[in-house]
Structure 1
Amino acid sequence: MTIIKTENLTKIYSDGKVEVVALRDVNLEIMQGEFVVVAGPSGSGKTTLLNQIGGLDKPTEGRVYLEGKDITQMKKDELAELRLRKIGFIFQTYNLIPVLTVSENVELPLVLLGIPERQRKEQVMEVLNLLDISELANKKPNEISGGQQQRVAIARAIITRPSIILADEPTAHLDSKTGGMLIDVMIKMNREKGITFIICSHDPQVIQKAGRLIRLRDGMIEDDKKIW
């Protein structure tokens, strides 16, 4: 089943004098359960594409469909609800709330969904156990390593059982060993939970582990290869 589809997706940024074409007529279909890596040099349009798919930005032209629904026509509150229920985000800067514990950071999306407290606590521990970070539950973000913080970010992203996870340079601030372990965790989530991953990265070890590799250059798809 197609989970993401873009049609003639174009994004142009303008400051009134200079126009920058970040994406140009991108036509793309991603199937449910794929593990996709979007690669390309800086300025190729990777993050812009991710933002379009996640409904964080509106296209200049074209359409984005998530599970058959045209998200480019949705209002802000509809997009916020969609992201909360259907999309998990993993950023290179982790974006954890420093005053909250690990378990509280992971629990937050469930609070926003109005899930009862007992059910929230059970789901949080289940996810923390899945990612082997249950012993960190009561620690604050500044008390754990970068690799552990990124695992917490993954836990927060999957806690709502989303259809798709979007990750923007998730290994950028990690050493190669920790980054490799992190990608292995994502592949495990993909295979065991059937979550669709779309990862933007220029990290060679991330690219090597792609199930499908899409290369962007100058806002256009240069190559699109299914690997596994």
Structure 2
Amino acid sequence: LHHYRFSLSWPRILPTGYSHIVSKDGLKYYHDLLDELEKNQLSPFVTIYHWDHPEALQKLGGWMNELMVDLFGDYARVVFRQFGSKVKFFTTINEPHAICRDGYKTGSQAPGYRLGATAEYICGHNILKAHARAYHIYNDEFRAEQGGKVGIAIPCQYYFVKSEKDMDARERAFQFNCGRFSHPIFSGKGDYPDIVKQKVAEKSKIEGRNRSKLPVFSEEWIQYI
């Protein structure tokens, strides 16, 4: 093996969730791990967020609260400052689709909320902003000196159709699963895929809602992400 991927724990490094209180023991834990990897010539691939954040932040709503965008940026800055000299590959957030679907829509995993599709979309909206915030912090403040790379872990699935007339369904499924997080970051024009915006708006109208369950990015955020 030549590489080792592991995930940091936000509560272990910032026990209150806020960057003015940093755990020396938490930092030492990861510095010791990184030093041991270096001794064994293993390149670390570090995931900054993999599901867990301090309980105090969950009491504020967790990823339902846009405050998480700035707080995650503050946390990422501590991570880059502390470990960036030893780490050249960072992942901001692991599998946002699962975090939002299982944690806030179905409640099958932590934090166990069963709030429906609206919550899933709000969660994803804030996670995309948080990823972008961390990326730009690294790009603006650390990349010149540290020379690393920052990405995001988005598991994308391919869908097979039973007949050729189902090709549109396959594309919709792909865009809702993969495109909802990939398109805002990697496409030429940014924002959510058109089919996602269209279908969510249509269903929201059928349900009698005054607005789409899918939040809207401002042009500034579209460009930033």
Q: Does TM, scored on the shorter chain, surpass 0.5?
A: no
Q: Which has the higher contact order (CA 8 A, sep 6+)?
A: 1
Bigger strand fraction: 1
Structure of higher CA gyration radius: 2
TM-score computed with the length of structure 1 as normaliser: 0.31
